[in-house]
Amino acid sequence: MTDELAYVDPTRDNFDRFKALPRDTPIHMLNLIRFKPLATYPDGHALAGAGLTGEAAYREYMRTIQPVLERAGGKIAWAGGFDCVVTGPAEWPWDETFVMSYPDAAAFMGMVKDPDYAPVVVHRQAAVADSRLVRFSPA
């Protein structure tokens, strides 16, 4: 990893911009994820010190977030494995690339406020070295 900033959770300013946009229209969320070599769970968590890779911790996040996603109406609209860059730098720093679809931004907001979200997002936070989460309006 370079000396540039790493992003795991949204900044307050970015989340405020998200909340200021319309909440009643469908959205797609582009997810770009780079894993840590080893997951870093907080002290006291059942998986702290378990030696899980970042990728394994992220798989646990994706497994345990499913009921929360279903309640929000979220689903993977597209996922793909990286092959090569055709235009741009040859390096691709992301381990996971996918697009989530939500019926509207209010559904996404409801997901992050769901009481079952906090206990599972810890897996994502333990797994991710850097990420981008970008909101798009579906065409």
Is residue 14 a part of any domain in this protein?
no
pLDDT 10s digits, 45-54: 999 999 999 9
**CA distance linking residue 57 with residue 94, whole number of Å:** 16
Alpha helices in the chain (DSSP H): 12-20, 54-64, 66-72, 105-113, 118-127
Share of the chain above pLDDT 90, in %: 94
Looking at the chain, the number of H-run helices and the number of E-run strands are 5, 4
Reply yes or no on whether the pLDDT at 57 is more than 70.
yes
Is residue 21 a part of any domain in this protein?
no
Is residue 107 a part of any domain in this protein?
yes
Is residue 9 a part of any domain in this protein?
no
For Cα atoms 3, 35, 20, give the angle at the middle one, nearest 5 degrees: 80
**CA distance linking residue 49 with residue 56, whole number of Å:** 13
Q: Is the model more confident about 5 or about 104? A: 104
Is residue 65 a part of any domain in this protein?
yes
Show the domain range for 122.
26-136
How many domains does the chain fold into? Answer: 1
Summary mean pLDDT of the chain: 94
CATH number at 37 reads 3.30.70.100
pLDDT 10s digits, 65-79: 999 999 999 999 999
